[in-house]
Amino acid sequence: MANKLFTAVAAVGLLAAGAYIGNKVGQDNSHVIVNDAERFSSESSTEALSSNARFDSSVGASGSGQVWEVKDGDSIQKVVSEAAAGDVIKVYPGTYSETVYIDKDDIQLSGVIVDGQWPVMEGLKKLNDAILYSGNNITVENFRIQHYKGNAVMGQAGNNFLIRNNHVIDTGVYGIFPQLGKNGLISHNILSGIEDAAIYVGMCDNIHVSHNEVFDSVAGIEIENTRDSIVENNYVHDNTGGVLVFITPGLPIKDTVNTIVRNNFIVNNNTANFGAEGSIVAGVPAGTGILNMAGDKTTIEGNIISGNKNIGILITDHHNAPNLSLDPESEPHSDEVAILNNFMFDNGTDPIPEIKALKALSLMNGPVDILNIGKSSNSCILDRGQYPTVGLDDYGTCGFTDTAEVKTFLLDEPAPKREIAAADMGKAAYYGVCAGCHAYNVRMIGPPTQIIQALYMDNPGGIVEYITNPTKKREDYPEMPPQNYLSEEVRRAAAEYMLSVKKVWVNSENEEKMKKDMAKAEELEAQG
């Protein structure tokens, strides 16, 4: 009662103050430019920007063309279809329930925020994807994207992308997912409620992921089969696993090299795993701060890693991972890992039984911050005394203390467009689109390609028909999103390529599961 009274009095006080402010200083000063020459002269800041702070000039759209406006009730896709390279599409607050495909270069898709109101892309849990782009130099910014089933923003072989200031909530399997892109910046986004990876960088090069907040997802930030990337200044909390750096075997890009994970907050990633059964991330134990699996030259520096109850940093290889088959073209170990100074505490308080067993073997009693399982060559740790560790005996002491000399791996100039010859169209579509969910003999989001080959042997037409309008076939898999945004020609080429992909290795660690899936495939085939 006393509390309520106090609130009421305070509210009256605030109202009075508001009225006062309204009368006294409430004039519109929005036209007044406020300079502070002492602190921020625009001259010196331009200098600072052009020297090194401004490293993002090679990504995103040019904004050099016509400006289009999209208002509540209009269709974003309609305008995208009419726009030309260089154009800016401004989307005003409103609710847009649609999927937008950007298949041309240099398009800036910018939400306009008015009085704190954002444009909302609303999937209603019926639509698969909010934004799919295959063009180069695409900017996507200032959107609230929610309730889709597949992806919020997915890139398919587009280079020089810029994805920033988006609020992504419960968009299904992935949040922001550039695939096969070179040179891209993902910054200042907030993502939550994603079943697989909130930010998923797949088969990319020269990527910068900074200043994002990711939480309540299975994987926070995932760097997969990607070269030269930096993950920095992100707040990664309350996921199952915080930051994952790894190689998925069976994809055309065979390595993950040169990842810097620095200055992130990686905190309390203890959410129970809700990933699709059998997917790679479904094997990530809850409570894992950073997981490096087969990634080479990963440098971990300056992070605050705390409250991850399984382990702070886990370095492992393909031999020790569930749900995986080996690819002879992918080196399965985590080599040349460097653990520099990080601030780690309160990790490893409740580890999984496997880690408990390893601890027992190494006679370690208390909680462990860092664990290495499997072979790791030429790896190092700067100051091993500051963390309780297990399995790092082979690690040397790093001969360097920081990564300060590397501002970014983004390029100075935009990467040239990926040229795709007509003959390679099927391959490009397969690896750019299908391989996000289908690997050769590994279950990912969709069934392995090997299973699909058994089902559709000489029948690419059947695949085209299915992917144009997929029906639900398997209880234990999610629905496959329709691929009818791809032209008939591209769908056909992808289907033919899918049937021609060769088994390049045999060494399957999850043969039992494969056998079950094969039996299921035969059963489905028998049913017609």
Residue number with CB closer to ligand HEC (409 or 456):
456
Identify the residue among 304, 358, 455, 518 touching ligand HEC (CB under 6 A).
Answer: 455
In angstroms, what is the minimal distance from the CB of 63 to ligand HEC? 30
Tell me if residue 453 falls in helix, strand or coil.
helix
157 lies in the site for ligand HEC, by CB under 6 A: no
DSSP H or E stretch at residue 290: strand 288-293
Q: How far is the CB of 195 from ligand HEC (least distance, A)?
A: 11
Buried-exposed string 36-61: b where 16+ CB fall within 10 A, e elsewhere: eeeeeeeeeeeeeeeeeeebbebbbb
Contact 162, 60 (CB under 8 A): yes
- Please give the residues from 473 up to 502 whose contact with ligand HEC meets the rule CB under 6 A: 473-474, 477-481, 483, 494-495, 498
Please give the structure tokens belonging to residue 314.
């886990």
Among 167, 227, 427, 438, binds ligand HEC (CB under 6 A): 438
Is residue 447 part of the contact set for ligand HEC (CB under 6 A)?
yes
Quote the DSSP letter at residue 311: E
How many residues of this chain bind ligand HEC (CB under 6 A)?
28
Residue 247 as a binder of ligand HEC (CB under 6 A): the answer is no
Closest to ligand HEC by CB, 209 vs 451, is: 451
Of 184, 98, 70, nearest to 136 by C-alpha is 184
Site mask for ligand HEC (CB under 6 A), range 456-475, x = bound: x------x--xx----xxx-
- Nearest approach in angstroms of CB 100 to ligand HEC is 17
Is residue 201 classed as helix, strand or coil in its secondary structure? strand
Exactly one of 135, 414, 436, 460 binds ligand HEC (CB under 6 A); which one?
Answer: 436
The total of other beta-carbon atoms located within 10 Å of residue 403's CB is: 19
The dihedral through the CA atoms of 280, 446, 423, 484 has a sign that is: negative
Q: At CA 297, angle to CA 293 and CA 302, rounded to 5? A: 90
> By CB under 6 A, is residue 446 in contact with ligand HEC?
yes
Binding piece for ligand HEC, criterion CB under 6 A, among 91-99, 375-383, 392-400, 448-456: 448-456
Q: Which amino acid makes up residue 278?
A: G
User: Which token pair is 351?
Assistant: 């580890």
Query: Which two tokens mark 490?
Result: 């591209």
Nearer to ligand HEC, 348 or 436 (CB): 436
Window 197-216: residues binding ligand HEC (CB under 6 A): none
By C-beta, is 184 or 481 nearer to ligand HEC?
481
Beta strands in 357-507 (DSSP E): 370-372, 380-381, 389-390, 396-397
- ∠ CA 330-331-334, nearest 5°, is 130
Considering only the stretches 229-237, 281-289, 337-345, 436-444, report the one whose residues sit in contact with ligand HEC under the rule CB under 6 A.
436-444
Cα–Cα distance measured from residue 203 to residue 177, given in angstroms and rounded to the nearest whole number? 10
- Tell me if 434 contacts ligand HEC by CB under 6 A: yes
Give least dist CB 232 to ligand HEC, A: 29
Calpha distance 417→469 (Å, rounded):
31
Residue 177 structure tokens: 């997912």
Pick the closer one to ligand HEC by CB: 197 or 429: 429
Q: Which stretch binds ligand HEC (CB under 6 A): 132-140, 198-206, 374-382, 434-442?
A: 434-442
Counting contacts by CB under 6 A, is residue 150 touching ligand HEC?
Answer: yes
In this structure, which amino acid lies at residue 146?
Answer: Q
Binding site for ligand HEC (CB under 6 A): 150, 429, 433-434, 436-438, 445-447, 452, 455-456, 463, 466-467, 472-474, 477-481, 483, 494-495, 498
